[in-house]
Amino acid sequence: MRKIFAEKSKNGTFLGMLALVSATSILFNSCNRKQDQKIPEKMIPKEHPVAKTVPKIQEEEVPSDKRVIYLTFDDGPNQGTENLMKILRKRNVCATAFLVGKHAYGSKKQKEDLELLRKDPLVELANHSFTHAHNKYTDFYKNTDEVIHDFDVAKDSLKLYDKIARTPGRNIWRLNNINVTDIKSSTDAANGLKKAGYKVIGWDLEWKPTHKMALKGNHEAMLKKVDSIFFNDLEKTSRHLVFLTHDQYLTDADSINELDLFIEKLQKSNRFVFRKISEYPKINEILN
């Protein structure tokens, strides 16, 4: 018998070896364990969807044959935000939206989408800066104080009480147990964010766009990439994969359908748990 996940198989990939799921099997998903319960209106957060303190998730809560996926979406509220939320609701799966402060006030539609995000219990909000570095990343990261100030403005204006952040244009990690900087000239700014109390989260896998700003490739290719990362132990934290794409890539019917199919296939495999980024291992530790 070929073994999966805990002991790597050389004869096949994880997704290729998944057993059929019976109609009565339960999907181990912390986002929808109580999906049959109707959430009272008074329990839906009005101010912000991120609790000030998040209980630690113990590793033993994840069965050994499961892997955890964190769906994250950057640059919202933006074109495609409403489409993203429709997919999440359809699949009853949670995600984290890394917001850009100025986007939240860019138009009436963006303001409305921000309020929809706040009220949706499937979504938590996190910090992706206020200006998105003005899309001039090299200059932005030269000034550590400017970077910290930019994130502080986003935190205050968006009422983000949990200082979880993602740097624009950079795949940077700053937690007690993970220190990764993709472009070394950003090191001082990244260290400054950590010193200021920001828990900086990058990603393990990104679904990139075409030149027309649509999702590149199809869901089957992305499923193989998920499989490959777990098979080769390429995730930053073993058994935990942070997935990234962007709201603005979800404006055409094909992209919307491909993301929907991607999530559906992951769910139906019954091999994955979906969680918000605030439940990432050790993210709630006080930064050293």
Give per-residue pLDDT as tens, 174-226: 999 999 999 999 999 999 999 999 999 999 999 999 999 999 999 999 999 99
Whether the predicted pLDDT of 50 surpasses 50: no
In the three-class reduction of DSSP (H, G, I as helix; E, B as strand; rest coil), residue 70 is classed as: strand
- CB burial string 148-177: b at 16+ within 10 A, e below: bebbebbbeebebebbbbbbbbbbbbbbee
Number of domains in the chain: 1
Looking at the domain assignment, is residue 152 inside a domain? yes
pLDDT at residue 30, as a whole number: 53
d(CA 205, CA 203): 6
Band of residue 140 on the pLDDT scale cut at 50, 70, 90: very high
Residue 120 domain boundaries = 63-279
> Does the residue 67 lie in any domain?
yes
Residue 126 lies in a domain: yes
Kind and range of the H or E element at 151? helix 144-158
Is 176 inside a domain boundary? yes
Quick check: is 56 in a domain?
no
Residue 123 lies in a domain: yes
Report yes or no on 156 lying in a domain.
Answer: yes
The answer to whether position 196 is within a domain reads: yes
pLDDT at 97 over 50: yes
- CATH number for the domain including 252? 3.20.20.370
CB-based burial of residue 242 (10 Å sphere; 0-12 exposed, 13-18 middle, 19+ buried)? buried
> Global pTM?
0.83
3-state SS, residue 205: strand
Section 131-148 average pLDDT: 97
| CB contact at 8 A, 252 and 99 | no
Residue 48 confidence (pLDDT) above 50: no
Query: Taking CA 259 as the corner, what is the angle to CA 198 and CA 250, rounded to the nearest 5 degrees?
Result: 75
